[in-house]
Structure 1
């Protein structure tokens, strides 16, 4: 190196966030892991407490389960997934001016958009929870250990989450409000809206994971039991099992109502012939 000249600084990269576990290696359980899991339990406890506070004591077990599920669903969407969107829009890492496209293959960086496609048209920034230091950024960094898309900005995931937070959560709260009334009054209306929301939840789950399955799951880390069975299978499975159960119950309720209406029409028809 010639005198009077200094070497050009190497472009800095974001701090390492995504950790691929090696086969047989156990999950990393730290304070963030425990806090994140306790936060889920706290929201479930809040949903249960709301059912005790808001539902009539005469409510059936089925109504209580529906209320707890939909209030828990709304809390998850608003608090957790709402914070995910906040990270996607307002938490970013500014790339240095010396950063070039060739550096995008850095092991600490995971760009989730197609080439020459930039979130919010910002080619000099990376957005997402991976680049934040707040408690909700840490929460999503924890989940991103299992599904890396939630640490950055995946266009499909973000698009679905905007609908989930903006439409799904208010609809879940509306269903909870309807469940507070008398069970016989407005029952068909309640079942209609639960059907709409359950169908949307199933569709959202499919659109979240189908692209991964069809492309070899490059963003999913299934190297240990906690990421596979707790983060991916259990937590996401809840939004499959409960919507399917709701659709079954809704079908039974609506079919029964239709049968009763048909019976009334038949009685009226027979009376005309008397």
Structure 2
């Protein structure tokens, strides 16, 4: 019998793999009339939207109204508990992290889906929205990780 941590890791990876599969299926269905580059972009945008809506939005839900990931139960709680082993801020409803993830789930996910729709329709306006989306992604990453680097915080977990 595998350890519970191993089971959770496998389930978490399987969930993300399922999101990759959904993005691949949607790309195959939509991408028949797109160039290879556009198919790759469409896939990434769909996957990005799915991650923001179906992985990050549950984190926000679990981190509101006095709840925390570490005190919650269920599949998504255990996924984020696994993640919080590498960075404890995700387990305790850190206000900065929750604020960035709320913005990401509510705005960036739908923007990625909208941009994918424009790519699928071969609407050149996707270029503008793609630049905006990429800027939002970079800003979210900056606001998530740079404060920790600047404060000299030591994040739990190790890759060696």
TM-score (norm 1): 0.55
Counterpart-to-counterpart distance in 1, 2:153 and 2:14: 28
The DSSP-based 3-state class of the residue aligned with 2:156 is coil
Which of 128, 133, 157 is the aligned partner of 1:197? 133
The within-5 A match list for 1:79-228 is 79-89=54-64, 127-182=67-122, 186-187=123-124, 189-218=125-154, 220-225=155-160
Q: Is the Cα contact below 8 Å between 2:62 and 2:69 reproduced in 1?
A: yes
Kindly state the Cα deviation for residue 49 of structure 1 after the two structures are TM-superposed.
Answer: 0.6
Partner residue of 1:113? none
Count of residues paired in the alignment: 157
Kindly state the Cα deviation for residue 223 of structure 1 after the two structures are TM-superposed.
Answer: 2.5
Kindly state the Cα deviation for residue 58 of structure 1 after the two structures are TM-superposed.
Answer: 2.9
Partner residue of 2:52? 77
The alignment yields a C-alpha RMSD, in angstroms, of: 1.5
**In terms of Rg, which structure is larger?**
1
TM-score (norm 2): 0.92
When you count helix as a share of all residues, which structure comes out higher?
A: 2
Partner residue of 1:104? none
Q: What per-residue deviation string (whole Å, max 9, x for no partner) do you get for residues 54-107 of structure 1?
A: 23x2311110111111111011101110110110125x5xxxxxxxxxxxxxxx
Counterpart-to-counterpart distance in 2, 1:195 and 1:223: 33
Structure 1 unpaired stretches of 5+: 1-27, 93-126, 226-274
Matched, 1:54 2:30: yes
Which of 28, 31, 34 is the aligned partner of 2:10? 34
Kindly state the Cα deviation for residue 29 of structure 1 after the two structures are TM-superposed.
Answer: 4.8
Q: Is the Cα contact below 8 Å between 2:85 and 2:157 reproduced in 1?
A: no
